Amino acid sequence: MSERRERPPGTDEGISVQAGDGVLRIGLDRPSRKNSLDPAAVRRIVGALEDAATDDTLRAIVLAGTGPDFCSGADWVASNHGTEPQPKPRPGSIQRRTALQAHRLVALLTEVQLPVVCEVRGWAAGLGCQIALAADFTVAAESSRFWLPFTQRGFTPDSGATWLVPRLVGVARAKELLLLGRPVTGADAAAWGMIHRAVPEADLGAAVDELVTELAESATVAVGLTKRSIHRSLEVGLSEAMEHEAVALELSSRTADFKEGLRAFTERRSPRFEGR
């Protein structure tokens, strides 16, 4: 494991970023606003994920919220009301900004070749829900709530909702969630296949820690390449998916962890992977 360090220390823009023991922990730290995300907070998370993508000391990423809720979504108040009068933006402003903000964040969660674990208690609404669904493993309190209230607010979904939700739960349930805006409990989200697991709230921290430890001790390169292959397979046919698998196999078979896995198998013991 890597030596513990922090980068950078403290909390900026309501987001805390700390790295230690091979794990990057991103905290949504704005409980007075239910951890809603304004553009500056989104940029902070995007920057942390971009840095993580090339940091060879990291082996897993965790996202969690401070307080009773994970994230209530984008902070529309902060995004639209500054202290000074703002000129009316040019047409297409939402389309231009969203690609570099919320959409970039969700894409990075699926693209970064490190396993991403999301810990959810309370509400995960709007963008908060999309973050949880884009993570590789979301562990939630059974009493938590996942909510996509876009049409109930008079506008359409963003942040990959129309791509993520149907693939996770099927079209019929996706329409219930996206067209009717029905919230779903953590327990039901797990039963539907939206998330990895739901546990009693008292057990949430321990369940997340156990999973993160397992991932941080795994063959990091192989896990990252497998994650990449899974996401590519959703977009291509069988032949092209197998081409991606062949490239991933070539790369993973050149790692030290691959050699350790073979030795462990021969010696009939558990492998001791170092993430290289």
Residues 6 or more apart from 203 whose CB is under 8 A from it?
none
Domain ranges of the chain: 11-216, 220-266
Q: Does residue 10 sit in helix, strand or coil?
A: coil
pLDDT, residue 75, reads 76
pLDDT tens, position by position, for the chain (276 residues)? 333 334 444 557 799 999 999 999 999 999 999 999 999 999 999 999 999 999 999 999 999 999 999 999 987 655 454 445 567 777 666 666 766 688 999 999 999 999 999 999 999 999 999 999 999 999 999 999 999 999 988 989 999 999 999 999 999 999 999 999 999 999 999 999 999 999 999 999 999 999 999 999 999 999 999 999 999 999 999 999 999 999 999 999 999 999 999 999 999 999 999 999
Angstrom distance (rounded) from CA 36 to CA 76: 9
Give the distance between the most distant pair of CA atoms in the chain.
70
- Residue 105 has a pLDDT of 95
Q: What is the pLDDT of residue 8?
A: 45
Residue type, 228: R
| Gap between the Cα atoms of 244 and 253, Å rounded | 14
Q: How many residues does the chain have?
A: 276
Give the whole-angstrom CA distance, residue 171 versus residue 46: 30
Contact at 8 Å (CB) between 271 and 264? Answer: yes
Burial (0-12, 13-18, 19+ Cβ within 10 Å), 103: middle
The angle formed by the CA atoms of residues 214, 218 and 221, to the nearest 5 degrees, is: 145
Contact 83, 104 (CB under 8 A): no
Q: Does domain 11-216 correspond to CATH entry 3.90.79.10?
A: no
Could you identify the residue written with the tokens 């057990």?
Answer: 203
What φ, ψ does residue 144 adopt, rounded to 5°? Answer: -65, 165
**220-266, CATH topology level:** Lyase 2-enoyl-coa Hydratase; Chain  A, domain 2 (1.10.12)
Nearest to 104 by CA among 159, 155, 62: 159
- 217 alpha-carbon distance from chain centroid: 19
Q: CA-to-CA distance for 55 and 123, rounded, in angstroms?
A: 31
**Residue environment code for 234-244, b if the CB has 16+ CB neighbours within 10 A, otherwise e:** eeeeeeebeeb
